[in-house]
Chains A and B, each alone.
Chain A
Amino acid sequence: EVQLLESGGGLIQPGGSLRLSCAASGFTFSNYAMTWVRQAPGKGLDWVSSMSGSGGNIYYTDSVKGRFTTSRDNSKNTLFLQMTSLRAEDTAVYYCAKDRVAGSTSPDYFDLWGRGTMVTVSS
């Protein structure tokens, strides 16, 4: 079955760190760029970061640059998001999403989404 499964969310104090994981199955993971998208409670979708299939190209939204690091382990079909210096405004459901086009390093859209993992930043 083609699916994405996020994990690693939780309650964390401001300034803390958290590492999210996204386990992929049912497709050739290394062929596809992967993306993190977040959604604050009651709000819209917000692009966070994208990484190419090889891991050689990484992009971040300005608000997380220097604080968040995206990585992937293609041998384990897993995408990661290391989050540091967390702020209240980072509170959101974090989704991982698969880019539609195989082998692309260009901006793309998403044809598969995980169910998300909730990150709450609060003291």
Chain B
Amino acid sequence: EMVMTQSPATLSVSPGDRATLSCRASQTVNSNLAWYQQIVGQTPRLLIYGASTRATGIPARFSGSGSGTEFTLTISSLQSEDFAVYYCQQYNQWPLAFGGGTQVEIK
């Protein structure tokens, strides 16, 4: 069974700085990797699919990279609305699996 591991668990970043979040799969997922953002009290929002393709309406400051087992979500210049929890999800095989999340907090 696939295990998705996200690091770090918490990332403290100043507004305007870059944030780099990692997601590791226990087996290859090829490029079948999505990223979601969940702001406190809100529903998850799709950010990235296919490891690197931004979903509709997602700002260009969000970018994804990687393939196989190692993936990265980069937020180039953090805005106030970006402080949230971010989850990766593999959809290469059943069962689907989410990572444990990375909380991006204000430094």
Interface residues of A (CB under 8 A from B): 35, 37, 44-47, 50, 59-62, 95, 97, 100, 106-111, 113-116
B71 at the interface (CB under 8 A from A): no
Residues on the B chain within 8 Å of A107, using CB: 32, 90-94, 96
- The total number of A-B Cβ pairs within 8 Å is 61
Q: How far is the CA of A82 from the CA of B75 in the complex (A)?
A: 39
Interface residues of B (CB under 8 A from A): 32, 34, 36, 38, 43-46, 49, 55-56, 85, 87, 89-101
Known A45-B98, A47-B97: A95·B87 in contact at CB below 8 Å:
no
Residues on the B chain within 8 Å of A111, using CB: 46, 55-56
Residue among A44, A97, A100 facing the most chain B CB atoms (10 A cut-off): A44
Q: How far is the CA of A50 from the CA of B91 in the complex (A)?
A: 12
Known A45-B36, A113-B44, A115-B43: A108·B91 in contact at CB below 8 Å:
yes
Q: How far is the CA of A114 from the CA of B91 in the complex (A)?
A: 20
